[in-house]
Structure 1
Amino acid sequence: MTLRFSRRPLALLAALAVSAGIAAIGSAALAADDGHARLKADLESKLNIKVDSITKSGYLGLYEVYADGTLFYTDEKGSAYVFGNLVDAKTRQSVTEARMAKLNAIKFADLPLESAVKQVKGNGSRTLVTFEDPNCGYCKRLAKDLQKLDNVTIYTFLYPILSQDSVDKAKQIWCSADKAKAWNDLMVDGRAPSGKGDCATPTQKIVELGQKYNIRGTPTLVFTDGERIPGAVPLDRIEKKLASLGK
């Protein structure tokens, strides 16, 4: 997966966690009458982050903190924090991964599909959305795999986050007479788009959309149930997910 947008505050926290294991972050207490307000304010002040939510994890008295698209854990006094996967001992399933999938879900109906490159394969009965950069190597690998997918409608948002050249190619593809062909010519066959890219394009709108949804790397896949999966997902996993949505 190609990464682009960084999250400096949480990257700093991760570095501190590696060097110190468990780091002290203050002694703000959770008062019974103000919920999580004091803990939230303490975290935001000391760690320079914007906390989106704080909820009880149900494990070890820890609180789940969701900030900048990432989860970490702390106690009710904010005396220490923990990064990494929280795993249920009975089910051996990652509680963190399950929560991240729910918190990062995208409301599919809100996606502006008219601003995506559309491909219909077979009867087009299944639907898949991707965010991809024209210069992303993993996206090219995914594009080749998706050629083998049948009975699906694929909407590809041209998400040029790697370079100005990516922006130029995205505009050229969008301005082509056959957008899907221009996309596949580049990603599957390595033939650069020949258009001028001088028409009206939704490029900036798509970049802002990706930032809104905290999409920091390409490719990112989005399914109709709102689940997002980053990276060049194996074709069998895509097939399995699409099949589950059809049941």
Structure 2
Amino acid sequence: MFRIAIAALLGAVSLTACAQQSAPVAAATATAAAASPADAAVEKRVRDALKELDPNFKPEYIGAAPFAGFREVIVSGQVLYVTDDGRFLMQSQPYDIEKRAMATSTGLLQYRRGLLATLPHADRIVFAPPNAKYTISVFTDIECGYCRKLHQDIAELNRNGIAVEYLAFPRMGLGSKDYTDMISVWCADDRKAALTAAKGGAAVPSRTCTNPVAMQYNLGQQLGINGTPAIFAADGSQLGGYLPPAQLKAALERIEGAAGSR
């Protein structure tokens, strides 16, 4: 796989800390439209350079990076940065000091929004106040400590006008006990109560039904999630893992302010 090739070639750690998945993730191919012949030539150089690392390389997205001289590339859900001449590759997502957030391009945000939009609202477990001002999509696991801590903040988040829409991401992978327990939660008559109980450490009564857990997990892989909770704002910005309610609200306000200034 490409991510294995990258780690081997660069002598780096694995690109993702996600659990081993039992089936390949289907790529949602989305290449940024070339604005000019020059852009098309740059994209070709980047593609050709990456194919030298792995002939089977199939990028899910290539677009202009949020800083000059680089292309932003997504492969197997991982965000990479490649110089326009195709020579250098960076694995770490740079931090935008001015915006106080991870550097993210408009194209990448659009790509993430498109992926998240494929997950029906009815398949999410939603904790929302009346007339919510903000909505976050949270890939969650019932076992992780910070997922449980975030859930303890639900009432405070709702008081701050933040709706939380949960998506399943069993960290131990498909086929694990974590996975089957999350299926039981999503198949419960009252999914909100079942999720709250599970995050509180209660045993999960076994249930089965047609469920979205595998689909949500696989899409999380495409988004490059490497830990839970993974929080996404409505514009596609990834807000990282757990944030206290005040910090989370401040981050959403910054995104709203940046959008208003454009």
The normalised TM-score by structure 1 is 0.71
User: Comparing 46-55 with 131-140, which one deviates more in the overlay?
Assistant: 46-55
* Cα shift at 1:32: 7.2
Shift of 1:115: 0.5
Aligned partner of 1:10 in structure 2 is 6
Q: Does the residue aligned with 1:147 lie in a helix, a strand or coil?
A: helix
Residues 79 and 224 in structure 2, CA contact (< 8 A), matched pair in contact too: no
2:135 equivalent among 107, 127, 135: 127
Superposition RMSD in Å: 3.6
8 A Cα contact 2:169 2:216, kept in partner: yes
Q: How many residues align?
A: 221
Partner of 1:203: 213
Q: Label 1:227 to 1:32 Cα distance change in 2 as closer, same or farther (>3 A).
A: closer
Is residue 2:218 matched to residue 1:224? no
Residue 98 of structure 1 aligns with which residue?
Answer: 103
CA distance in 2, matches of 1:86, 1:211: 21
How many angstroms does 1:130 deviate by? Answer: 0.8
Counting only pairs closer than 5 Å after superposition, residues 128-167 of structure 1 correspond to structure 2 as 128-149=136-157, 150=159, 151-163=161-173, 164-167=176-179
How far 1:129 sits from its partner (Å)?
1.7
The match for 1:35 is 41
Q: CA distance change for structure 1 residues 106 and 42 in 2, over 3 Å: closer, same or farther?
A: same
CA deviation string 1:146-195 (max 9, x = no partner): 332224432111222315111111111122222111111221x221222x
Q: Between Structure 1 and Structure 2, whose CA radius of gyration is higher?
A: 1
CA distance 1:93–1:133, change in 2 (3 Å): same
Scaled by the length of structure 2, the TM-score of the pair is: 0.67
Residue 121 of structure 1 deviates from its aligned partner by 3.6
Is the CA contact (8 Å cut-off) linking 1:86 and 1:96 kept in structure 2?
A: no
Taking the aligned partners of 2:48 and 2:101, their CA distance within structure 1 comes to: 23
The residue number in structure 2 matching 1:27 is: none
Residue type of the alignment partner of 1:190: G
1:26 maps to none
Query: Does 2:125 correspond to 1:114?
Result: no
In the alignment, which residue of structure 1 is the partner of 2:248? Answer: 238
Matches within 5 A, 1:56-75: 59=68, 62-68=69-75, 69-74=78-83
8 A Cα contact 1:14 1:83, kept in partner = no
Letter in 1 for 2:163: T
Q: Residues 75-102 of structure 1: CA distance to partner in whole angstroms, max 9, x if unpaired?
A: 52x44445556678xxx54899323685
Q: Which residue of 1 aligns with 2:198?
A: 186
